[in-house]
Amino acid sequence: EVQLVETGGGLVRPGSSLKLSCATSGFTFSNTWMNWVRQAPGKGLEWVALIKDKYSNYEANYAESVKGRFTISRDDSKSRVYLQMNTLRDQDTATYYCTRSPGDYWGQGVMVTVSS
Amino acid sequence: DVVMTQTPVSLSLAIGQPASISCKSSQSLLGTSGKTFLNWILQRPGQSPKRLIYQVSKLYSEVPDRFSGSGSETEFTLKISRVEAEDLGVYYCWQGTHFPRTFGGGTKLELK
């Protein structure tokens, strides 16, 4: 059974950092591209970042709204994908989901609240 | 960026009625591989999104066959032949052909 479990969310001040983790199981993680997608309260879905597999040199792509502040990474030995979020803004408040590319499995999401 | 435009924004239907949701992209979603990476997902109230359809028209194994997807290039449609109670929620189309990936604004299906 495929499982994706996000952790690491919380309440932080603007300008601070937070690192999300997504633990996966039930599939061959090392050859799977992974995404982070977020959803602000009461809003629609917004793609955040994608990391490709080792065969694509772990290439990463980002939404313009997070480029230069967020970093997606992965640890194939642990079947985990991460999202390092720096210089957080109020507008980053959202539920963050990790999802396999092409979006066939989604985690339950983790809430990040940025507020002073 | 590819803009994904979904219509209608909301649908209010009785059980057993058909449903149709349109999704239009600002650029062709036909990739260099010859595949079109247009997906549909459903987010039920209080839940994370669930998969429905990939590559325009391919249903995931657990999705009932009352759902269907069609379209090409820039115009796509999700249809439900007969709405059931479990179908309520917000439907999103999203594209996996171009970076950045982009989502439609969502279509809320409510039961009348």
Mean pLDDT of A13-29: 97
Neighbours of A60 (CB within 10 A): 14
Measured between CA atoms, the residue of chain B closest to residue A39 is: B48
CB B111 within 8 A of CB B105: no
CB contact A61 to B (< 8 Å): yes
Mean pLDDT of A73-101: 97
What percent of chain A is predicted at pLDDT more than 90?
Answer: 97
Condensed to tens digits (0 to 9), the pLDDT of residues B9-30 reads 999 999 999 999 999 999 999 9
Kindly indicate the confidence band of residue A14, based on its pLDDT and cuts at 50, 70 and 90: very high
CB contact under 8 A, B54 and A108: no
A65 contacts in chain B (CB < 8 Å): none
CA atoms within 13 A on the CB side of A101: 24
Condensed to tens digits (0 to 9), the pLDDT of residues B77-94 reads 999 999 999 999 999 999
| Angstrom distance (rounded) from CA B44 to CA B86 | 8
Residue A54: strand, helix, or coil = helix
Task: State the average pLDDT for chain A.
Answer: 97
Measured between CA atoms, the residue of chain B closest to residue A101 is: B96
Condensed to tens digits (0 to 9), the pLDDT of residues B39-75 reads 999 999 999 999 999 999 999 999 999 999 999 999 9
CB contact under 8 A, A102 and B99: no
Condensed to tens digits (0 to 9), the pLDDT of residues A93-103 reads 999 999 998 88
Indicate if the pLDDT at residue B112 is higher than 90: no
pLDDT at residue number A102:
85
| Residue B54, token pair as written in the block | 């990939």
pLDDT at residue number B6:
98
pLDDT at residue number A103:
87
CB contact under 8 A, A45 and B103: yes
Instruction: Please name the residues in contact with A57: beta carbons below 8 A apart, sequence gap of 6 or more.
Output: none
CB contact under 8 A, A44 and B99: no
| Angstrom distance (rounded) from CA A2 to CA B61 | 14
Mean pLDDT of A45-64: 97
Helices and strands per DSSP (H, E), number in chain B: 0, 11
